[in-house]
Chain A
Amino acid sequence: SQQGEEDPQALSIQEGENATMNCSYKTSINNLQWYRQNSGRGLVHLILIRSNEREKHSGRLRVTLDTSKKSSSLLITASRAADTASYFCATDQAGTALIFGKGTTLSVSS
């Protein structure tokens, strides 16, 4: 079963704009991770935020986590065409399997 639900399912923006995608989950977690997947390829780890953290930055990425609302957001600033991909949140409940959402498909046009 899939725990996370990303919102929106699809997002289209212009280069230079910011992209925000959200993730909601159902149960308590150790950490939450965001991954990127280019069409038909494997997943690339972007960022991990632990359950006791509220915000984390990595380059143009900013992730927030609200455990009281069981939600997270991923912000990509100054988007580029190369950011076009599917983005998945994944929750780690017990340090083993990751539980993924269905993903947000981001399209950045130049």
Chain B
Amino acid sequence: DTGVSQNPRHKITKRGQNVTFRCDPISEHNRLYWYRQTLGQGPEFLTYFQNEAQLEKSRLLSDRFSAERPKGSFSTLEIQRTEQGDSAMYLCASSPRVGSYNEQFFGPGTRLTVL
């Protein structure tokens, strides 16, 4: 399978714990994005990388959130001291960004439940 993969698919944690999610983009894509989606809403942008550089962060990305893409390939999203409001689906997408196109290919998501 050459699509975007995310692990784990589901994560249940207790409030205050740290969690880390992983995203493996399509191999030739140099752009990688993280989004968060809550029930009944569309995805909301969190951050994006071009290769290993984190170029943009949303105001939604509080200090408890950190994302990395160390070698310009896979990316991790860590949430420290989780809160119940962090419960959501975390989506990763990648894009080759050719010209004016920015078609993004999404992974299946990681569903986080904070108890």
Interface positions of A (Cβ within 8 A of B): 2, 4, 30-31, 33, 35, 40-45, 48, 50, 88, 90, 92, 95-103
A41 interface neighbour in B48, B101, B108, Cβ under 8 Å: B108
**Complex: how many Å from CA A44 to CA B48?**
19
- Whether A100 touches B103, Cβ cut-off 8 Å, given contacts A40-B111, A42-B108, A43-B91, is no
Q: Is the interface of B mostly helix, strand, loop or mixed?
A: loop
**Complex: how many Å from CA A88 to CA B104?**
13
* Chain B contacts for A2, CB-based, 8 A: 41-42, 44
**Complex: how many Å from CA A40 to CA B56?**
27
* Chain B contacts for A42, CB-based, 8 A: 4, 91, 106-109
B42 and A103 within 8 A (CB)? yes
A31 and B100 within 8 A (CB)? yes
* Chain A contacts for B109, CB-based, 8 A: 41-42
Interface positions of B (Cβ within 8 A of A): 4, 33, 40-45, 48, 55-56, 58, 89, 91, 93, 97, 100-109, 111
A102 and B56 within 8 A (CB)? no
A92 interface neighbour in B4, B41, B102, B111, Cβ under 8 Å: B102
* Chain B contacts for A44, CB-based, 8 A: 106
How distant is A88 from chain B, measured CB to nearest CB, in Å? 5
B48 and A97 within 8 A (CB)? yes
**In this complex, which of A31, A33, A43 has the most chain B Cβ atoms within 10 angstroms of its Cβ?**
A43
Quick one: closest B residue to A9, CB to CB? B40
**Complex: how many Å from CA A40 to CA B9?**
11
A102 interface neighbour in B42, B55, B97, B102, Cβ under 8 Å: B42
